[in-house]
Copies of this chain bind each other. A is one copy, B any other.
Amino acid sequence: MLEDKLSTVAKAMKRSEIRELLKLVAKPEIISFAGGMPDPTLFPSKLIAEVTSEVMEKEGERALQYGPTEGDTELREKLAEWDKVDIDNILITTASQQGLDLVSKIFIDPGDTVIVGYPTYLGGLQAFNSYDAKFIGIPLDDEGMKVDVLEGTLQKLSRDRNLPKFIYIVPDFQNPKGVTMPTDRRKRVLELASKYDLLILSDTPYRPLRYSGEPCPNFFHLDGGMERVITLFTFSKILCPGFRLGYIVAPPDIIDKLVVAKQGTDLCTSPFNQAIVREIIKQDKLDRHIKKLVSVYKEKRDRMLSALDNYMPKMEGLSWTRPDGGLFLWLTLPEGMDANRMFERALASNVAYVVGSAFHYDGNCKNTMRLNFSYPTLEKIDEGIKRLAKVIEEEAKEVL
């Protein structure tokens, strides 16, 4: 009975496999590289309690009331300063997943094409999917989306009059691959976007978490006229996910439409949470906190890379990425192996990952997996990679 009443997109909606899977791996004996979660021992709980008391004392009446849909003015000013843009370029969002939803809402009509990484962030696929987008995936190398493949694809789509509304890119320490797009490739992508008059949706949750190498400019700073880039930021990875707080940087006419869409979606993002984060920024405590995260996560990344170097069997076709930042690296198994099939063996050995196929819109590339290094302790990284190495060795013996 319910089925008859559902909207077209709701009929096609499926529970996210990996979110269901994450429930399976919540047992304490399992070392999980599966989630995308920050290290909770680093959350600044004490600072947040202190700042909340100050906010309640100083501006409780404002912070607990409805706020403007655009977001807290002073917070937007701070962020504009930080990102060297104008306050009219900034909309506060209920974290960046809402950014994905709002951008989809104002741009995607059923059947519209969207270009995504192959693989890409699962939550992006889910948001676009809920507006009935059709996907075209562009494979990635160690420098992100392959720009020559992108060019060929756009040529073809242009001939077919099926150009996408936007290109969705996670340029820094991409989720799931961990790779970063260098400046020259960003410029090439922008040129293509300009040639075919497309928008770029740049998703940058991990950007401040760089452990090695030099930062690349944000897309919108390469886009002279600030015309065609929409950038999503979030405080989830650099402060805490529990606030559900992020923001969008975009041209003012796009911000305007996003504001109207947001009015119907949640009226405004929590002014309480916004006030707390604004005060943390004003007290110069966010930068300091990010420095601490970078030093801890760098050690974790290094530990995972050396554990992989030390424990993984020497096997043709077995490789992994070496990210300069973020939370994830990407492991590729030899052709003929299947991370989905192997998952049960991994669970039995008390280690977990996310199957790479989950990040491919068509569910392919089953010989890949994503490994998270931000959440587990150094000891667990070491032990977990040891277990995973053994699982891969045993599985390879059986299937290769």
A residues in contact (CB < 8 Å) with B: 1-2, 5-10, 13-16, 19, 35, 37-38, 40-41, 43, 45-46, 48-49, 52-53, 56-57, 60-67, 69, 94-95, 97-98, 100-101, 105-109, 112, 123, 126-127, 129-131, 165, 197, 199, 236, 240-244, 251, 253-254, 256-257, 259-261, 263-273
A-B contact pairs, 9 of them (CB 8 A): A5-B107, A9-B105, A14-B260, A15-B260, A45-B56, A66-B236, A100-B264, A244-B269, A270-B270
Contact B66–A242 (Cβ < 8 Å): yes
On chain B, the residues within 8 Å of A108 by CB distance are: 7
Known contacts A2-B254, A56-B46, A64-B242; A264/B129 CB under 8 A: yes
With A43-B60, A52-B53 already in contact, 20 other A-B pairs whose C-beta atoms are closer than 8 Å: A5-B107, A10-B107, A13-B106, A13-B260, A15-B260, A16-B263, A37-B65, A37-B66, A41-B61, A43-B65, A45-B64, A48-B52, A95-B266, A97-B267, A101-B266, A123-B267, A129-B264, A130-B265, A244-B267, A244-B270
Contact A123–B64 (Cβ < 8 Å): no
Contact B60–A95 (Cβ < 8 Å): no
Contact of A264 (CB < 8 Å), options: B40, B45, B97, B253: B97
On chain B, the residues within 8 Å of A94 by CB distance are: 94, 244, 266
